[in-house]
């Protein structure tokens, strides 16, 4: 049992830089050798985007003065202790609002909340902002709200600017070019500009010492993140997932940990009795109904964590930062997406590569596609960002390899860390029956490698039991059910690009049954003006023997149907809405066939988001079962 440590002792240890000596945790801050390695890497890095924390009035976002000490990673203290400082939060979605709450709890004296959404704030957003304002003002923090176009004068008197993931960096770069901060911490009028990810994660890692596994890539991020969290929890670790996965923001996790630590400190000062310290400044999850556990539960605060799995998008990684240092990270793949935001594949790849920018510790591990599969653009971006980090491969060892036998419905994963003498094999059991598609078996393998990469270890039998609990997250090859007539409905609404749909379609075609594919929504236009759908089905043919059906719908339905007209052995129907497409799929289905919603398009022409689209499809399918 861990010894009880009082709040004063814990605070003293933190001040001295002493860390908790737990499996998987970092032993204190990075040393000078790690900093020198980072400096060497940055001096040799090409391209505009470099690690940054502070932006001078004369410097564009993403650039760094190599000779300036104020760009040290230790500037995380400038984000954690905001007493007497003013913070602007740009973008008032869930990430922005949670960052604002966190800034208030960090004792910011003033918050400026900004959002330039077309049409102004909706009722739900206005209500959330008003509740936040009342809460912050009750804690002594003044709050201003500004809706509409951002102007330089809106940032006057601001020390820290937090950008939500949905806020493009380049327009803010131009806007903030002449803005100067009043506080001396910024140095020479510099302005501290950070992402919501960096704003929150610095405290999670530095103060609470929680090891982080990060997952990024164009496709598969959420499934791998979901699988990793499920396995870690099954294996007895207190673990949460957050970030782009949508369950909770990184700021919500940081705030929960702060609330839990505050409550623990209060109970210790009041002499509420012995407890089990969690090793990260937060409460233990394994309570016995004692008063401190009940009190913390009432605060809805975090129970303490052994590790954190963070799904990070290119939007969250667009601003490089010294404050994000995963213990293990995976860049799953890279294909064309979000070009309207990044402007090209090189900038997109550089944003993804920022996930490993600070991974300079000896035990850090970066997981990448194998040399045969990695795109040259991604390979170059990662090498330019961090050529020194230890690597593992998806498809080769050290790394992870997966073998599946579809006829016998069996498979196994082989994983090996670079420091291991050899691989370790784990049976996947009936995984293929619970999670459709060989790609999901690979997702499970990568998730398993992430678990070991965090520094933990378990007996083989325990790992295989954890693999046996995995289930795919909603809207990702989710089997809704099968009708009495033998038609199976599959919800893959998250497939918002062609590559995702290609993988989903191949997974079902491999089973040999007829597939009725629902494609449509708002397509993503390529530079040549096409949507790229002819290539989708050409690559999924198997000699022309299949008689699959495609039903197109939505804003891009007509163009998709036109592009598919030249593909042999595919029957294409075009309707206006998803409701019409789903009804038609029922008419065209036969026993044993699959109705697959894998739209390869955004959902905004008919729905608020892909979740709402998937929920509608699921509800319809269940209504006819």
pLDDT, one tens digit per residue, over 476-521 is 999 999 999 999 999 999 999 999 999 999 888 777 678 999 999 9
Q: Which of 166, 188, 184 is nearest to 57 (CA)?
A: 188
Q: Is 50 exceeded by the pLDDT of residue 18?
A: no
**Is 100 in contact with 160 (CB distance < 8 Å)?**
no
Q: What is the mean pLDDT of the chain?
A: 83
pTM, two decimals, is 0.79
The pLDDT tens digits for 75-106 are 478 899 999 999 999 999 999 999 999 999 99
pLDDT attached to residue 120 = 81
Element (H, E) at 298: helix 291-298
Degrees, nearest 5: CA angle 598-600-603: 90
Nearest to 166 by CA among 291, 42, 282, 315: 315
Please tell me which of 186-190, 286-290, 593-597 the model is most confident about, judged by mean pLDDT.
593-597
pLDDT at 335 over 50: yes
Q: Is the pLDDT of residue 20 over 60?
A: no
pLDDT tens string 25-74? 443 334 434 444 444 444 443 332 323 333 333 344 433 333 223 223 33
Residue ranges and CATH numbers for the domains of the chain are 51-202 (3.40.50.720), 210-237+306-473 (3.40.1190.10), 478-623 (3.90.190.20)
Query: What spatial distance separates the first Cα and last Cα of the chain, rounded to whole Å?
Result: 52
pLDDT grade for 357, boundaries at 50, 70 and 90: very high
471 contact partners, CB below 8 Å, separation of at least 6: 230, 434, 435
* Contact between residue 472 and residue 440 where contact means Cβ atoms under 8 Å apart: yes
pLDDT tens, position by position, 195-254: 999 999 999 999 899 999 999 999 999 999 999 999 999 999 999 999 999 899 999 999
> In this predicted model, what pLDDT tens digit does every residue of 530-556 receive, in sequence order?
999 988 876 555 544 456 899 999 999
Residues 6+ apart with CB under 8 A from 363: 327, 455
Question: Does the N-terminal peptide bond of residue 398 adopt cis geometry, omega within 30 degrees of 0?
Answer: yes
């Amino acid at each position: 049992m861990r010894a009880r440590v009082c709040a004063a002792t814990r605070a003293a240890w933190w001040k001295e830089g002493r860390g908790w000596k737990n499996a998987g945790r970092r032993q204190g801050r990075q040393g000078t050798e790690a900093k020198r390695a980072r400096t060497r890497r940055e001096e040799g890095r090409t391209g505009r985007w470099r690690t940054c924390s502070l932006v001078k009035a004369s410097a564009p976002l993403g650039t760094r003065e190599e000779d300036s000490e104020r760009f040290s990673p230790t500037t995380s203290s400038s984000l954690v202790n905001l007493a007497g400082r003013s913070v602007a939060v740009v973008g008032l979605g869930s990430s922005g609002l949670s960052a604002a709450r966190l800034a208030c709890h960090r004792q910011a004296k003033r918050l400026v909340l900004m959002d330039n959404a077309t049409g102004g704030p909706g009722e739900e957003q206005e209500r959330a902002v008003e509740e936040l304002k009342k809460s912050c003002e009750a804690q002594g923090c003044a709050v201003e709200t500004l809706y509409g176009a951002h102007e330089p004068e809106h940032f006057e008197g601001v020390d820290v600017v937090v950008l939500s993931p949905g806020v493009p960096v380049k327009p803010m770069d131009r806007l903030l070019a002449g803005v100067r901060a009043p506080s001396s911490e910024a140095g020479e009028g510099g302005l501290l500009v950070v992402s919501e990810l960096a704003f929150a994660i610095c405290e999670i890692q530095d103060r609470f010492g929680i090891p982080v596994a990060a997952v990024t890539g164009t496709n598969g991020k959420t499934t791998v993140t979901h699988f990793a969290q499920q396995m870690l929890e099954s294996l007895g670790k207190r673990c949460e997932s957050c970030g782009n996965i949508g369950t909770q923001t990184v700021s919500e996790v940081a705030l929960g940990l702060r609330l839990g630590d505050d409550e623990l400190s209060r109970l210790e000062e009041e002499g509420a009795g012995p407890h089990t310290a969690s090793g990260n400044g937060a409460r233990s999850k394994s309570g016995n109904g004692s008063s401190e556990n009940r009190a913390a539960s009432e605060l809805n605060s975090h129970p303490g964590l052994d590790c954190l799995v963070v799904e990070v998008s290119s939007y969250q990684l667009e601003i490089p930062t010294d404050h994000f240092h995963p213990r293990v990270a995976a860049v799953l793949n890279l294909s064309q997406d979000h070009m309207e935001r990044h402007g090209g594949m090189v900038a997109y790849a550089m944003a993804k590569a920022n996930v490993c920018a600070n991974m300079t510790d000896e035990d850090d591990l970066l997981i990448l596609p194998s040399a045969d599969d990695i795109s040259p653009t991604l390979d170059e971006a990662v090498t330019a960002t961090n050529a020194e980090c230890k690597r593992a491969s998806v498809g080769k060892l050290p790394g992870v390899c997966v073998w599946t036998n579809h006829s016998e419905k069996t498979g196994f994963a082989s994983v090996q860390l670079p420091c291991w003498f050899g691989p370790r094999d784990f049976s996947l059991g009936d995984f293929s029956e619970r999670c459709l598609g060989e790609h999901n078996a690979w997702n499970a393998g990568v998730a398993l490698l992430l678990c070991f990469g965090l520094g933990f270890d378990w007996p083989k039998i325990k790992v295989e039991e954890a693999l046996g609990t995995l289930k795919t997250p909603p809207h990702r090859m989710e089997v809704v059910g099968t009708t009495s007539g033998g038609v199976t409905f599959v919800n893959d609404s998250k497939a918002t690009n062609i590559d995702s749909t290609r993988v989903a379609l191949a997974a079902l075609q491999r089973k040999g049954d007829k597939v009725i594919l629902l494609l449509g929504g708002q397509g993503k236009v390529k530079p040549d003006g096409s949507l790229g759908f002819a290539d989708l089905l050409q690559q999924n043919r198997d000699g022309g023997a299949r008689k699959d059906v495609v039903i197109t719908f939505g804003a891009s339905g007509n163009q998709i149907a036109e592009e598919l007209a030249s593909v042999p052995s595919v029957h294409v129907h075009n309707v206006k809405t998803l409701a019409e497409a789903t009804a038609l799929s029922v008419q065209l289905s036969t026993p044993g066939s699959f109705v697959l919603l894998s739209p390869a398009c955004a959902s905004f022409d008919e729905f608020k988001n892909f979740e709402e689209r998937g929920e509608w499809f699921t509800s319809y399918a269940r209504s006819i079962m």
